[in-house]
Amino acid sequence: MIGRLKGTVAAVGDETALIDVMGVGYEIYATPRLLQRLGVGEAATLSIETLVREDLIRLFGFENDAERQCFRLLQSVQGVGAKHALALLQILPPAALYDAIAAEDVTAISRAHGVGKKIAQRIATELQSKLGVIAGAGGESFKIAARQKAGVAAVFDPALAARADAVSALAHLGYDGVEARRAVSLAAEIRDSAGVEDLIKAALKELAPA
């Protein structure tokens, strides 16, 4: 399977780009956000997810392995296909996707083209226990950098961001994603407008054995 391509951009379309690798052209599907950044004649290195079916082989390109991992993870949810996953990553890069799932922000998830409220709710619910996978793929520094990009901060307010960071910290400590979110939600109700550290301390009390 092809997992990475390094070559020259030969052409860019509405949904795909053609990457020339030593004389061989590879057609890759990507988000409009990525396609807009590719320039014909310029060098490009992309993480690739290869989709193989009985009737086709299709390549999907991403800026980094974190996006590729999220693309794969999203498709583990029932009813979410490659088009849904690509549409989600167009509006929610890995850091923002993590925050949306951690905060169970169905409205933010359903903003993706073709993703309705029902599918968005399923994504938020089924991927709660896999938040550590998303966080591990992107890393804390990537999360912070992504939030600073234009457009992402407008989707999440500081309170939701603090809750998401608290859930992330608990996931890194080994707690189950669903239990971590439940504990953080209870902590947020008790401590209104609490910072990340206070939420973590209160959540740890909720998670402590009775």
**What does the block give as tokens for 28?**
């890759």
pLDDT tens-place string over residues 86-125: 999 998 888 778 878 877 778 889 989 999 999 999 999 8
CB 125 within 8 A of CB 178: no
What pLDDT is stored for residue 147 in this prediction? 43
How far is residue 18 CA from its own chain's centroid?
A: 25
Condensed to tens digits (0 to 9), the pLDDT of residues 45-83 reads: 999 999 988 888 999 999 999 899 999 999 999 999 999
- Domains annotated on the chain, with CATH: 4-63 (2.40.50.140), 66-207 (1.10.150.20)
% the chain with pLDDT above 90 = 43
pLDDT value of position 103? 74
pLDDT band at 164 (very low <50, low <70, confident <90, very high): confident
* 179 phi/psi in degrees, rounded to 5: -65, -35
